[in-house]
């Protein structure tokens, strides 16, 4: 017959065993890649080298701005992160130029905003977007209160690809490119 003291020791030992097992299981899952979060990656298209990475919540927006090559006026393209893809939401510009919409079409709606700027609303989903860093355009990424010149990430003329992917939390902790 076992004593009450022996039962208590096994009770505490069993609890300690299961606690340690839970911690070990959690560590293995963390290393394997769970949990994961959505991130925006900017990669140098030829080698897919990641140059910039930022955590993104589903539905979170960011802007890529540039100077139009013909009319030398600013353009602001808004994108939204949606799970495993991007959505081109709209473009804002204050003057017409080559390649800019002049009227609404089945692809999108052109309106005049309250501030007098033109807004081309598209809401087009895409798996990724590739931008060739402009020599004159001065492309800039506006994300989470920061402004990053794309020419600081890659030489003008280089293609950069923007995409949303799921990254392991452990990867985000140790990767210097996460912002």
- Whether the per-residue pLDDT at 32 is higher than 70: the answer is no
Query: What is the pLDDT of the chain when averaged over all its residues?
Result: 82
pLDDT digits (tens, 9 = 90+) for 111-141: 999 999 999 999 999 999 999 999 889 999 9
Report which of residues 37 and 171 the model is more confident about.
37
C-alpha span between 122 and 151 (Å, rounded): 27
pLDDT value of residue 10: 55
Strands lying side by side in the sheet with 140-143: 109-112, 118-126, 85-93, 74-82, 61-67, 140-143, 146-149
pLDDT band at 170 (very low <50, low <70, confident <90, very high): low
pLDDT digits (tens, 9 = 90+) for 73-116: 999 999 999 988 999 999 999 887 777 788 888 889 999 999 99
Pick from 32-36, 48-52, 153-157: least confident: 32-36
Structure-token pair, residue 154: 């890659």
Helix (H) or strand (E) holding 17: helix 4-32
- Whether the per-residue pLDDT at 143 is higher than 80: the answer is yes
pLDDT value of residue 84: 87
Cβ–Cβ < 8 Å for 110, 100: no
- Whether the per-residue pLDDT at 166 is higher than 80: the answer is yes
Q: By C-alpha distance, which of 107, 70, 114 is closest to 92? A: 114
């Amino acid at each position: 017959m076992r004593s009450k003291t022996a039962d208590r020791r096994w009770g505490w030992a069993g609890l300690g065993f299961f606690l340690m097992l839970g911690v070990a299981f959690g560590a293995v899952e963390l290393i394997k890649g769970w949990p994961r979060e959505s991130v925006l990656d900017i990669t140098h298209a030829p080698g897919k080298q990641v140059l910039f990475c930022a955590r993104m919540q589903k539905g979170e927006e960011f802007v890529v701005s540039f100077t139009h090559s013909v009319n030398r006026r600013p353009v602001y393209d808004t994108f939204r992160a949606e799970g495993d893809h991007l959505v081109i939401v709209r473009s804002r510009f204050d003057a017409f130029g080559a390649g800019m919409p002049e009227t609404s079409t089945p692809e999108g709606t052109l309106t005049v905003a309250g501030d007098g700027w033109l807004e081309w609303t598209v809401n087009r989903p895409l798996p990724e977007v590739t931008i060739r860093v402009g020599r004159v355009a001065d492309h800039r990424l506006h994300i989470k209160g920061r402004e990053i010149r794309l020419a600081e990430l890659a030489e003008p003329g280089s293609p950069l690809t923007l995409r949303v992917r799921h990254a392991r939390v452990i990867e985000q902790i140790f990767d210097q490119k996460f912002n």
